A and B are shown apart, each in its own frame.
Chain A
């Protein structure tokens, strides 16, 4: 059996995932998350009398808290593998990556395990966020003064 035949065979037995269904699921789940967060923010603004910015900060903290808690309880991984980008692109993805690496590496010790691995996945977000913000900030200062 040559290489091409082998590739064909591999392709045949690869699990076929429905792309359109995944994209649709990501849209719906991301949208529902955004909608429910806006409802919560409106509740904070109107009932508890918070300012707009404070209410968004509280919503953000609640989201991070829930994502970390659900990851620690063990069922957030299943949700992420089902809804994919719908939960990865909101801040929940950031919290999920951090708490899952904290949980996984804690057994290797406090410093060599937890301490050095907690930013393993979230580190790239921090690094490229800071680098791009610095470059764009530099440009912004030059352009807008």
Chain B
């Protein structure tokens, strides 16, 4: 069952984004930023953890998961370090995506030449 939900949830998010791209003047940059903020909002409402529960990787591979991890990091940081944790806990959970994207981009920009 989790496989069907993985297909539906991740397909649905992509479909909504494509509908936005087709019918408004928003660029892919706008849409990805919007979905990141949406992920943080859904996490605040408690919906995103449920989505991950029912659809597994279908929800964790989306860019909204990035917003969800940022929000969870803030909350966890607050419970551990109080006010300072709002800042120090922010990037703890999402570090994986940022660091790996930076490192792979840096390495591959040396090993490959841009296609004209």
Chain A interface (Cβ < 8 Å from any Cβ of B): 17, 19, 22-23, 25-35, 37-42, 52, 55-57, 59-61, 63-65, 68-69, 71-74, 77, 84-86, 88-91, 93-95, 97-99, 101-104, 106-107, 114, 118, 121-122, 124-134, 136-141, 144
Contacts and interface: CB of A to CB of B under 8 A. Distances in A.
A140 B8 CA distance: 29
A25 B15 CA distance: 8
A136 B32 contact: no
Of residues B31, B57, B75, which shows the largest number of chain A Cβ atoms within 10 Å of its Cβ?
A: B57
Interface residues of B, number: 71
B6 A38 contact: yes
B109 interface: yes
A56 B70 contact: no
A144 B74 CA distance: 13
Contacts of A42: 2, 56
Interface in B2-25: 2-3, 6-15, 17-19, 21-23
25 contacts: A22-B22, A27-B12, A31-B11, A34-B57, A35-B6, A35-B58, A37-B6, A63-B61, A64-B100, A72-B111, A74-B112, A74-B115, A85-B18, A86-B14, A88-B32, A89-B13, A89-B17, A91-B62, A98-B101, A102-B106, A125-B63, A129-B66, A129-B70, A137-B90, A140-B44
